[in-house]
A = this chain, B = another copy of it.
Amino acid sequence: MKKEAAPKTEATPKRNKDLFYKRQMQIIKKATHLFMKKGYAQTSMREIAKATGIDIRNLYYFIKNKEDILFLVFDMLHKPELELFEKQGIMDIDDPIAQLSAAIRGLLDAGGRNLDDEVLLLYRESKSLPKRLLKNILARESEVVSHIETILKKGKARKIFAVEDTSYTANLIVYQLCVYPLRHWNMKEYNREELSDLMVKHVLKMVLA
């Protein structure tokens, strides 16, 4: 409402960066947990301060403001998903079926056991971010979708997959990975591994020629 500055935290210490970013990460992690549990708007800065053991006024030395925390949280949550495609060798797998399966399993395990509520957080709190930052976040997610679409196109070209609209289906696949966090109330019966298998099967049935 008041200022709309850069997402960067104002203080940029030149020496001993480690400690600064360590504290920042400490804040982000605690905030993530609180945001997931109570929601962004329902979590006060005082709660974050208490959870981290850092005084409220001190908090503002490490982060710019509350919105900045939310942005940093999203930033952290999406990192593993992108690294999956960039650093790990998924895009190098030749067989489209094996590649798609690996991508799905990889994305499901990307955030460890966290992914569950993390994605929910993204969908839930995206309206709390200013448009500029939201676009930044969503652009990252679009990258993931693009990677999936690339796999689909290759499979389609080899006549292994039969998908009408690769963009739509890629979106649907990424979207499906969040069924559990978003609909946990109806799906308590499955554990992570069962769910992985079910998803791979469903997706393959959906795209196979």
Quick check: is A57 within 8 A (CB to CB) of the other chain?
no
Are A172 and B176 closer than 8 Å at their CB atoms? yes
In the bound complex, CA of A145 to CA of B183 (Å): 11
Nearest CB of B to A65, in Å = 16
Given A124-B125, A138-B186, A175-B183, 18 more contacts at CB 8 Å?
A39-B127, A39-B128, A41-B42, A123-B123, A123-B124, A124-B127, A141-B186, A142-B186, A164-B198, A165-B198, A167-B189, A168-B190, A168-B198, A171-B183, A172-B179, A175-B182, A202-B206, A206-B206
**Sample (21) of A-B pairs whose CB atoms are under 8 Å apart:** A120-B123, A123-B123, A123-B182, A124-B125, A124-B127, A141-B186, A145-B186, A164-B198, A167-B189, A168-B187, A168-B190, A168-B198, A171-B186, A171-B187, A172-B176, A172-B179, A175-B179, A175-B182, A175-B183, A205-B205, A206-B206
